[in-house]
């Protein structure tokens, strides 16, 4: 009789001690009485490939990947999904029984599902989206906005060249605004997103004027420390529908958990409390 292995998954990064993923997956394992474990692993650059090739032999069914390895894992994987290739980074690896490594990027999925849950009437295809920032996270956001049919994506970044590069890659649906003109992106927008790190604990404040926020606009911030940012407070004050960034982190974890542990987990208040708790 073959031995039934307990499925193991985890998150690889450097540093890793601040990752919320172990709490998140730990909650789902407990809440669903699944026999399995999810482990944080600090792995330095030079060890990445060796560790990834060894983990399946130790009973791992997959891992999440975070900074600084999200780009380099694409070179190690045998199969890369179209969306991970387009974004140029992966956050979820699945170790297949045949020994092949499959890499996906679920950040854009998490972003969209978070808005669908937090703003059920969100109709992204009915008007422009304003995107502040063109860093690593913005690539996944832009790709997912195109996927859900946003007709015009207005993009502005302090370093304009990064926004221009995204336009060159993602096409004419993207309109680049100079950072000094970023406030104008809000004019008539249906959705607004902060993908910069501005407003995060320890980072500078978000200082772009936000008087273009209008009632009914759906506004989200990728920053989730703090949960309520200045960007979201201003949007609330203007009567917008606001959705915080923690939900994106929670939703992006769903596809990985489902593939590794065989059941689709739910994102609910109990999960938020488990992740935020002491």
Site string for ligand NAP, 30-49 (x = CB under 6 A): --------------------
152-190 in b/e form (b: 16+ CB < 10 A) is bbbbbbeebebbeebbeebeeebebbeeeebbebbeebb
Question: Looking at 70, 100, 175, 203, which residue is catalytic?
Answer: 70
The nearest distance, CB 169 to ligand NAP, in angstroms, is: 15
Residue 23 binds ligand NAP (CB under 6 A) = no
Q: Tell me the two tokens of residue 270.
A: 């109990």
The nearest distance, CB 97 to ligand NAP, in angstroms, is: 30
- Nearest-10 crossing angle of helices 107-118, 254-261: 110
Q: Which residues pair with 153 in a beta bridge?
A: 129, 174
Q: Which is nearer to ligand NAP, 128 or 133 (CB)?
A: 133
The nearest distance, CB 207 to ligand NAP, in angstroms, is: 8
Q: Which stretch binds ligand NAP (CB under 6 A): 37-45, 142-150, 151-159, 182-190?
A: 151-159
CA–CA distance, 228 with 164 (Å, rounded to integer): 30
Range 53-112, binding ligand NAP (CB under 6 A): 107
Q: Which is nearer to ligand NAP, 29 or 106 (CB)?
A: 106
Q: Which residue has the tokens 């063109």?
A: 134
Among 7, 245, 256, 265, binds ligand NAP (CB under 6 A): 245
DSSP annotation of 2:
P
Q: Which is nearer to ligand NAP, 223 or 232 (CB)?
A: 223
Give the residue closest to ligand NAP by C-beta: 135
Among 26, 88, 135, 226, binds ligand NAP (CB under 6 A): 135
Q: Which is nearer to ligand NAP, 45 or 126 (CB)?
A: 45
Residue 70 known to be catalytic: yes
Q: Where are the alpha helices (DSSP H) in the chain?
A: 21-31, 48-54, 73-76, 82-87, 107-118, 136-147, 160-170, 230-237, 246-252, 254-261, 269-276
Which amino acids are annotated catalytic? 70
């Amino acid at each position: 009789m073959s031995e039934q292995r307990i499925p193991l998954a985890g998150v690889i990064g450097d540093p890793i001690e601040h990752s919320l993923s172990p709490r998140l997956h730990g909650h789902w394992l407990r809440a669903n009485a699944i026999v399995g474990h999810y482990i944080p692993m600090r792995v330095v650059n030079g060890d990445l490939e060796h560790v990834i090739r060894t983990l399946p032999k130790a009973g791992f069914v997959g891992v999440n990947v975070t900074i600084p390895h999200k780009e380099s894992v694409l070179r190690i994987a045998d199969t890369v999904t179209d969306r991970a290739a387009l974004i140029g980074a992966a956050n979820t690896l699945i170790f297949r029984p045949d020994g092949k490594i499959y890499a996906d990027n679920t950040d854009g999925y998490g972003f969209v599902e978070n808005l669908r849950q937090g703003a059920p009437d969100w109709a992204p295809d009915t008007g422009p989206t304003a995107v502040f920032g063109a860093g690593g996270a913005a690539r996944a956001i832009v790709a997912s906005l195109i996927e859900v049919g946003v007709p015009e994506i207005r993009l502005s970044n302090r370093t304009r060249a990064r926004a221009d590069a995204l336009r060159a890659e993602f096409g004419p649906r993207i309109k680049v605004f100079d950072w000094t003109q970023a406030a104008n992106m809000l004019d008539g927008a249906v959705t607004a997103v902060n993908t910069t790190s501005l407003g995060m604990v320890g980072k500078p404040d978000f200082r772009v004027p936000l008087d273009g926020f209008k009632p009914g606009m759906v506004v989200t911030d990728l920053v989730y420390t703090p949960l309520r940012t200045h960007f979201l407070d201003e949007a609330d004050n203007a009567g917008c529908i606001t959705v915080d960034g923690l939900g994106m982190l929670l939703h992006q974890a769903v596809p990985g958990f489902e593939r590794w542990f065989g059941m689709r987990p739910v994102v609910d208040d109990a999960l938020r409390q488990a992740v935020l708790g002491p």
